[in-house]
């Protein structure tokens, strides 16, 4: 009898937790659907993020920085991403998806906790691909989007003509055989990443489109989001992109791993980053180093191609 009552109690508690979770989600959806003026929208979005943030370091960062200029583009980024995710909701994706954000990028001026890139549980992880202070080619961007670029495909070279530095010096001295996971980095400090839009005649995007037409992209569970907004040229911190995306995902059926397909060259104007520290965090390259994939990246066995396309 006691065991039976305990089972009934546990079942009631589970159902009550589910009801509370549903009510919480319904409240979030109401807030997101009733956003009004820009400053008020931004305040509400920040409030929702703070209420749902589970990481203490990220929560502290949100509270301390929510009024800074870095968050001015939060509303625009939220609506930009929501439009993409709403379209993807209609497609045959599973609950767990990969979102590849394609943009021009750089690291600038100051450091933030890596956990700030995964502010809410809707983003399971954020993956960075190139070492710090390293750019990447459009072919690498395509490989990231297609999910076919692996660590052993990395090739480093100088992207400046007439470079006096020997080629081997552009190879990072410490290069892990995995990509840079922000979830694993936890509260480690990382450079602030800023992203800028792709232009309408952008060479990177043109090359990406060519490779996509030649080799295709998986249609299920991988969503490519190019940072292209007609007539818009503002740079935005990557932390604002992931915050906006995590909020958008709250009102969807998705959880996502986010992949950043962007350069991470040093664009700071003041003091340079601590090279030794960044080597320890993941990897670091000397100036003017670029990452491209080896030719073998696109030479996949037919069985792997079929699996990538159809799951």
Report DSSP letters for 127-193, one per residue: EE-SPEEEEE-HHHHHHHHHT---GGGEEEEE-STT--S-GGGGS-SS--SS-EEHHHHTT-EEEEE
Q: Is the predicted pLDDT of residue 301 greater than 90, yes or no? A: no
pLDDT at residue 282 in the model: 97
pLDDT reported for residue 91: 94
The number of beta carbons lying within 10 Å of the beta carbon of residue 43 is 17
pLDDT in tens, 196-252: 999 877 888 999 999 999 999 998 999 999 999 877 778 999 999 999 999 999 999
CA 299/CA 263 separation, integer angstroms: 24
Per-residue model confidence (pLDDT) at position 233: 76
**Closest alpha carbon to 191 in 80, 270, 92:** 270
225 with 136: CB under 8 angstroms?
A: no
**235: CB partners within 8 A, 6+ apart:** 194, 195, 196
The beta-carbon contacts of 305-311 under 8 Å, at least 24 apart in sequence, are: 308/146, 308/147, 308/148, 308/218, 309/216, 309/218, 309/219, 310/220, 311/220, 311/221
Helix (H) or strand (E) holding 111: strand 104-113
Which residue has tokens 């990382």?
A: 190
Tokens of 95: 């609950």
Residue that wins the pLDDT comparison between 69 and 264? 264
Q: What angle do CA 136, 142, 126 make, to 5 degrees?
A: 75
d(CA 242, CA 119): 8
pTM for the whole thing? 0.84
Give me the residue label for tokens 């069985």.
303
Instruction: Pick the closest to residue 154 from 172, 169, 132 (CA basis).
Output: 172
Distance CA 31, CA 27 (A): 6
The pLDDT score that the predictor gives to residue 160 is 78
Chain segment 72-83, per-residue pLDDT in tens: 889 999 999 999
Q: What is the total residue count of the chain?
A: 311
The answer to whether the beta carbons of residues 256 and 117 sit under 8 Å apart is no
The residue among 157, 158, 151 whose CA lies nearest residue 127 is 151
For the chain, state the CA radius of gyration: 21
Q: What tokens were used for 188?
A: 């480690």
Q: Note the pLDDT tens digit of each residue in 30-45.
A: 555 555 556 788 888 8
Nearest to 196 by CA among 222, 223, 224, 229: 229
Q: Which residue has the tokens 């040229």?
A: 233
According to the model, what pLDDT value does residue 131 have? 97
């Amino acid at each position: 009898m006691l065991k039976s009552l305990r089972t009934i109690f546990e079942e009631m508690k589970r159902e009550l937790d589910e009801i509370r979770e549903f009510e919480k989600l319904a409240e979030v959806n109401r807030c997101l659907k009733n956003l009004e003026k820009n400053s008020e929208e931004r305040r509400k979005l920040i409030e929702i993020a703070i209420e749902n943030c589970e990481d203490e370091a990220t929560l502290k960062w949100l509270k301390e920085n929510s009024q800074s200029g870095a968050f001015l583009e939060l509303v625009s980024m939220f609506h930009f991403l929501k439009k993409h995710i709403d379209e993807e909701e209609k497609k045959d994706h599973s609950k767990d998806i990969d979102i590849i954000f394609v943009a021009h990028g750089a690291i600038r001026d100051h450091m933030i906790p890596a956990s700030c890139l995964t502010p809410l549980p809707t983003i399971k992880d954020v993956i960075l691909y190139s070492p710090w202070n390293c750019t990447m080619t459009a072919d690498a961007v395509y490989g990231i989007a297609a999910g076919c670029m692996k660590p052993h495909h990395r090739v480093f070279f100088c992207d400046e003509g007439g470079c006096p530095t020997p080629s081997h010096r552009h190879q990072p001295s410490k290069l892990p055989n995995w990509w840079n996971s922000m979830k694993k980095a936890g509260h480690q400090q990382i450079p602030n990443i800023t992203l800028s839009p792709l232009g309408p005649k952008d060479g990177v995007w043109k090359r990406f489109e060519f490779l996509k037409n030649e080799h295709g992209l998986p249609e299920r569970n991988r969503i490519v989001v190019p940072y292209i907004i007609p007539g818009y040229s503002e740079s935005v911190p990557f932390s604002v992109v992931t915050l906006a995306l995590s909020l958008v995902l709250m009102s969807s059926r998705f959880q996502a791993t986010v992949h950043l397909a962007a350069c991470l060259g040093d664009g700071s104007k003041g003091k340079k980053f601590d090279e030794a520290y960044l080597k320890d965090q993941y990897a670091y390259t000397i100036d003017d180093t670029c990452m491209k994939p080896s030719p073998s990246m696109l030479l996949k066995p037919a069985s792997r191609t079929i699996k990538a396309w159809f799951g």
